Structures are given as structure tokens and as C-alpha cells.
Structure 1
Amino acid sequence: MDLIFEYRAQLLSGTLLTVQLALASLVISVIFGLLGAWAKLSANRIARRFANAYTTLVRGVPDLVLIMLVFYGGQVTLNNLGEALGLWGYIEISQFAAGAGTIGVIFGAYFTETFRGAIMAIPRGQIEAGISCGMPRGLIFRHIIWPQMVRFALPGFTNTWLVQLKTTALVSVIGLQDLVYNAFTAGRSTGQLFTFMAAAFVIYLTLTAISDIALRALDRRYSVGGVRA
């Protein structure tokens, strides 16, 4: 415990960066998930094919491979493209941007299916009733689709978010000083790797427990008036 207390600042900074990375990637993944769900449910054949290709490709490649591909290959590709077109100079992709962007795109594919299933679970008659009453599309979405979509999507959303939170540990391989990177560095420098990995274990468990409690409270809020099977 003395070593943990001595390196508390390093562990705390890594934990804060992990939380920031997880939240940034969550925003990106929700945006991609909503767009993907819309595309899959669209009457546009091109949009459906593009969304199917996106989910199939992303879910078929290991997360670590995609992160390293974007960080190492994306920067080279952007700089070569900018040099060839003469539109921009040298661009450097930070570890945080590469990690948050890649994890967001990856889990956007999973959220696509979660949101699509939630929207399909809404009784079609309710939407048709809104249309027959003359409600505009924005009002139908806010008062009919969105509240029920959130309720139906929350169980799958919770599971995906908890996995996404733990997946942020992969960014340590590209040098981002997150919780795993700082814990490993402290453990290697002190010769007490197990102690610091155990500390990271406890911190991740705490973060997932807090997330689970918060999302359960959100589920209870959106389930008010609903019928439980």
C-alpha cells in the first residue's frame, strides 16, 4: 500500500485520462451508432449497403489491429495525401485522438445494431398514429421514437459501454499514458508489477460498478409506465 500511495498521482492521472478517453469515444460511437441505425433502416439501398459494410468490416477486425492501423498508418496516409494534393502540411495524429476515434468507430458498429433493434421494437402503430395526428417528424422522434428507443436500447447499451470502457486499455500499446500504461510503468520501475496491476484491476472494477449503477438508474427512469415481462 505504501507504493500505491507513493505513486498515487501517477495512477490518478492515468485514471482521469482513461475516463476522458472513454467518454470521448462514447460520444463518437453514439453518433456513429445513430447514423448507422438510420442508414440500415433507410429506404435508400446505398445507405443500407454502406451501413452493412461498415458493421461487417469493423466487427470482423480485432480492436488492437484497428487502433495500430489508424495510429501508424492513418498519419502516413494523411500526410502523403496532403503532399500529393497540396492542400495541407504535416499532420500529426495524437495518441488520444487515434484511440478515441478508433474506439468510437469500432463501438459505433455495435451501437448501430443496438439502436436498430430498439427502433424496430417500437410498435409501428404508434408512429402511424403520430403521423395521422399531423405531428411533424421532429416531434414524432422526440415524443414517440426517442423515449422508447432509449428504454429498449439501454440493456444492450449498458453491456457495450462496459466493454468499451475496458477496451480503452488497448491504447497503452501506442504510448498513451492511461491507467494501464502508468500502472505498468510504475510496476516495472519498482519491481512490483503485480501490485500495480492489481491496483489497476480495482480501479477498473470501481469505474464499471459506478457506470452500472448510473445506467441502472437511467433504466428505471425510462421504464416508468412500462410493462415488465
Structure 2
Amino acid sequence: MIEDNVFYYLRHAMICQNGANGNVFGYSYSHRLFDMYYRDTDFLLLDMEFHGGHPYMNLVEGNVLAHMGGDDYWGSSRHNTFFRNIVERYSTGVNKKIVFNVNAVQIDRLIYYYNVVGNVLCRPGDTGWVWKLGVDSNDDQSVAVKYQKVLDTLLRHGNFDYPSGTTQWDSTIANQNLPPSLYLKQKPAFFGTLAWPAFGPGADLYHALVSDLPAKLRYWNQLNTDEPASSR
């Protein structure tokens, strides 16, 4: 279990591959992502990534992330679940703005039977791409779907996205009552007086986005500053 952590200035905050199965990634905060080009990074990296070697049956719940999904660079993954996360689709660069691969959820070729349920996607005022589905890892999100099985096996239910301003439910599922958690029986002690559930249906979306995760509060209280204005 990886729970209640802060990740900062990394290429991938949480990466799962090569037989890493049955894990929980819960209630952590990831901020600012950089690749091998560091100060010249202009590509939105996955900070919660299933990255080949067929990791399966993992749960990603309650995190605040820039970008999440599964890529096909080193092969397949299946049956992983994203539940009640905030995915901001945003990271600040240094010399350059982040302008490539800007989507919230990426599910590539060979990535089957994923569940994306009860998440809050993008930020207030955002437009543009929310999903990158059924293409190769190096494709832009504007490429048409190449691998229909990715969509045919993907469950999307109860996700709110700011570009559309709506919560989108699977029309074949009558039940729209989502549990607060898929692994916790009650509100965890480290949440203190914060709202529970933090994100998704039944939660206050605006306040959840800006402050309602203990790990995010710790990070910004420690720095006592705003995000840098440059490269926004």
C-alpha cells in the first residue's frame, strides 16, 4: 500500500509494472513532472502509470494527479481501477510550457478491462481533450481510435469532467450510488475534519479540487506560497 504521500519533481510519481499486482495507491498528491529534458520538458507525463509487464488488479483511489493511465510502451496491463481521484491534466514547466500529450486519462493499446469510476477530471475553465484511448503510446490524443477492444472493455462510470461540465454515467448501469472507498471501511484518521469522500459523486467538487486532501494541504502549507506564475 502506498498511502498519504507527497511526490514532487519526479518523472513518474507512482509507476507499476512487471508483476506488481494487488496494490493500493491511495490519497497521495503529485506535483510537477519532468522527463530527461528536465527544464525543457513540454510533455505531460503520467504520474500514476501502469507501464508494462502486465500489472493487474491494482486500485488507484483518492489521489490528486496530473495525468493517469496505462501505456503500452513495455506491453500490456489489465483489470486496474481508478476510483475517486482528481486528475488535473496540468503541470508547470520551467523553460517551456507543457503542451504535448495534454489529456487526463490515457488508456493505450493492449490495456484492457480498466475501470475509471467516480473521478474528477481537469480543472475549472479547462477545454480540450479529456481522454486518450485505444491508440499507441507515442500517438497524440487527437489520433482516431486504432484498437477498439480498449474501448469495448473499458468501464467509465460517474466521472465528472470540467470541459463538458457534466458527470457521465454508463447508461447500462442503473446504480449511481458509489461507495466512499473501495478499500476503507470508514473515513481514515489522517483526514481529520476534512470532507469524506474527498472527490467524486457526493463530494463538493470545488473544495475537493483546491484543498481537501491531507497530502496536498501538507505540501502547500510547508511551502507557504502559490504556484509559480511563469509557464502557466
- Do the structures match in fold with TM over 0.5? no
Greater percentage in helix = 1
TM-score class, shorter-chain normalisation, is under 0.3
Higher relative contact order (CA 8 A, sep 6+): 1
Structure having the higher Rg: 1
TM-score when normalising by structure 1: 0.24
Greater percentage in strand = 2
TM-score when normalising by structure 2: 0.24
